[in-house]
Amino acid sequence: MDSTYQERLKSAFARAVEWHAGQDRKGTGIPYVSHLMAVSAIVMENGGGPDEVIAALLHDAVEDAGGRPTLEKIRSEFGQQVADIVEGCTDAYTTPKPPWRERKEAYIAHVATASASVRLVSASDKLHNARATLTDYCRVGPAHWKAFRGGRDGSLWYYRSLVEAFSQVDRTSLVEQLDEVVTALEAEVRKQEGVD
């Protein structure tokens, strides 16, 4: 890792900490920045370059910390490529966000035309979310769904639809991992709740 990359990465991490200060993962009390760190690690472990790793750290900033003005700050500070990846991972620019199902259907449709960089960061994001959901569901059980706008049925639909959308474009090992975790989550829900 060259010194320029190191400096950009440190700057992106500082921005992620700043923009997500006080935010926690749904229903857990775990600082939100842990998710951003995990997603950037998954991107790095799956061959992501500097812009993709930096975008992974910042991928939720537009949705959760300021909308389009934050996207412009990302463009100014980290460049067009990082901003394009973050924009490609964003499903809302306003607060309150548009209706959940409408946003998710649009995001699923967008996967087919997204760049390889956007798909890498997005699949890494969804993989970490699915792993966390499985872990929390095994710990808490059906009460876990109360923290999610889509509830159990919407969440399971969204994860499975994403697996299918990513698979139609490129069935990478990352997408295979996502499929395995989603399949395990579906099996755990059947075991605990007796639903398909």
The residues spanned by each domain of the chain are 3-193
Superfamily covering domain 3-193: Hypothetical protein af1432 (1.10.3210.10)
pLDDT of residue 194 exceeding 90 = no
Dist CA 154 CA 152 (whole Å)? 6
pLDDT of residue 27 exceeding 90 = no
- The distance from CA 64 to its chain's CA centroid, rounded to whole angstroms, is 12
pLDDT tens digits, one per residue of 55-73? 999 999 999 899 999 999 9
Residue 74, pLDDT score: 98
Token output for 10: 């440190």
Q: Which residues are catalytically annotated?
A: 63-64
